Amino acid sequence: MSQKAVLFVCLGNICRSPMAEAALRAEAVAQGLALTIDSAGTNGLHTGQHADPRAIAEAARHDIDLTRHRARQLTEDDFLHFGHIYALDHQNLREIGRIAPRRHSAKVALLLDMVPGRGGQAVLDPYYGDAEDFATAWDDAAQAAKYIVAQLAR
């Protein structure tokens, strides 16, 4: 397991977690930090599907291509490969705990725990919202990405 490997987890892996993955990837590249980055969902309902078109559009607003993303479900093996696993909300944090093997050393937390003053907060689920909700979720993920890169660069 690598401490420079980060996994983002939401429910279906078509909205928030792919945007968080993309935001961290862009920040890591901008800062010259080599990281392994991926995303997954606690629910396998969307496995193999593309990211939500609204997530693709929001990423494109930031010059990031999410069209190659394919949803996948969180597995026990993820706890062996990723040193940091970030849930996008409390429900998925609980599900991560349920899925986790008894023994693992991955650090599991809410994504916004990385942002000073935002600990314990969830990233808004934009799925039933509009483009503004996707922009808000992106902004939260991008803000957290800056702190994750800063921490892992040390």
Whether 10 is catalytic is yes
Short-list 23, 1, 27, CA closest to 85: 1
Q: 144: closest CA among 52, 57, 54, 17?
A: 17
Q: Which of 38, 52, 78, 125 is catalytic?
A: 125
Distance CA(15)–CA(23), nearest Å, equals 12
**The dihedral sign for the CA sequence 50, 56, 57, 60:** negative
Active site residue 15: no
Does residue 94 have an active-site annotation? no
3-state helix, strand, coil in the chain (%, to 5): 45, 15, 40
Alpha helices, H only, the chain? 16-31, 53-61, 78-81, 90-99, 131-153
Matching residue, tokens 């050393």? 105
- Catalytic member of 15, 16, 38, 72: 16
Hey, which residues are catalytic here? Answer: 10, 16, 125
